[in-house]
Structure 1
Amino acid sequence: MILTCPSCSARYLIASDTIGDAGRPVRCAKCKTEWHQQSEKDSLDDLIKRVKSETVDIDFGETSAWNPSPQTAPPPPVSQGPSKLRIFLEGSFAKLRDSKVYKKLANLDPTIAQKIAGGMVALACFMVLLFVLVLEPIRQPIAEHLPVVAPVYSAAGFPVELLEKEKLVFDRLRAAEGDGGKIRISGTLINLLATEAHLRPFQVKFLDEQGQVLLEKEIEMAQKTLKGEDSVQIY
């Protein structure tokens, strides 16, 4: 059991049988205060009686005033929205409906207009299939050779990563005089991308000490592609 000095509140941990059932006088080793310590059972009984004799008033207010806050409804699921390809097609058809050709078709015989409209829809579906089945798988080389089509692919939901200049780098590029007075260029071309890169012709400029262009030559690589994180020697 734990004894607490009534004067200095010093606490001592002692065995219960040391006090006994009848209790005994004890003295604080810190402040020398003496008191009669009851047994553990008597101390517990006194505590229970004291708690029962005291009035515990806990005011919860009026019951009717208790209003639990309503549970917050879970937010509605975020709609993913239509696909980019669907938005692209809907925008194209909307522009077609606003065009002068469509308005002229509206004034034609209904049968003829229906046939023409059906043919235009079939042509549009064919173009979509051609785009998805043929042009989409090879979109990367097409966009690299024709960068203007990259936004079209992106609008249709097929993003294209255009090859930036810093993705292909030259290393140890040198120019030396070769046979017959010709200038020989040598070095290494490195592909920093993890994907295959298409090699396009590149320009080589020879400058003087003032930075003026003395000679400009276009060099076309023998191979047309370079594997990801690979290099090729230039001779």
Structure 2
Amino acid sequence: MKITCPNCNTSYEVDGATFPPDGRSVRCVKCRNVWHAVAYASEPVVMPPEPDKAAPPPPSRADRVQEPQTGDRAHAESQAEPLGARIVDDGGADAGGDTGETHLDAIEHAAEARARFAAKHAGNGPRIRYRKRGGRGLEAFVFGCILAGLVAAFHYREDVVRTLPSTAGLYSAIGFPVNLRGLEFGKVAQRRDFEDGVPVLIIEGEILNIRDRTMPVPALRFSLRTDGGDELYAWTLEPRQRVLDPDAAMTFRTRLASPPRGADDLQLRFMERDRRIVELGN
């Protein structure tokens, strides 16, 4: 009869007489697979011989191996690989009562041993930590928010300083001073002279509108200080021109008779006209 390996589909011609009624375990020579094969009739059933003629005994295994093959049988067996001694004893009738471990049991025991070994040493290997994708998304979101905040703080720095005046120094420290008034001083110069024998300090300069819209012109405050920063004398000047057109400029001039000695530093800044009125009232 012919049996076929269920793993690699390799066929073998074997003698069905060597198989017990419940089948037996066999191993494939090609892929080493072990399966339980059951004997079945691969050829038409032959009628039993007449009673007066005894059927010849089945040939021994050695005779079957050395038996010359001819015709279709030789052609069929040339396509199948010889099974030979690859039949695995499963403890059937041919085992002669031997209850020893079969090859299939050995394979199962080896697999169980490998599984126990893998389970025992599973925690000894290096651990790989996987970062959650959600963490990267959160980091990107936070970074984007910070970047957007920095861009907004730079673009709207005038509004920030107007709301939080203390941040003006921070912007100046990083090289982006904030000018809320939209006006700048230009060509400021000072000189000393004598009029009727009295020393006079003369200060001249320009006021520039750096915005693209008309800006109000505030009052000017002049302060004379020492090298150490101590203020010696201060006065104000209120220009007659009250507004300045875009990109326009205007001049100013003030004089101080008998300036104090030791006044080596001049500080000039804008101030609100209403504030000047309050200071004069005090």
Normalising by structure 2, report the TM-score. 0.24
TM-score (norm 1): 0.29
Task: Choose between structure 1 and 2 for higher RCO, CA contacts under 8 A separated by at least 6 residues.
Answer: 2
Larger Rg, first or second structure (1 or 2): 2
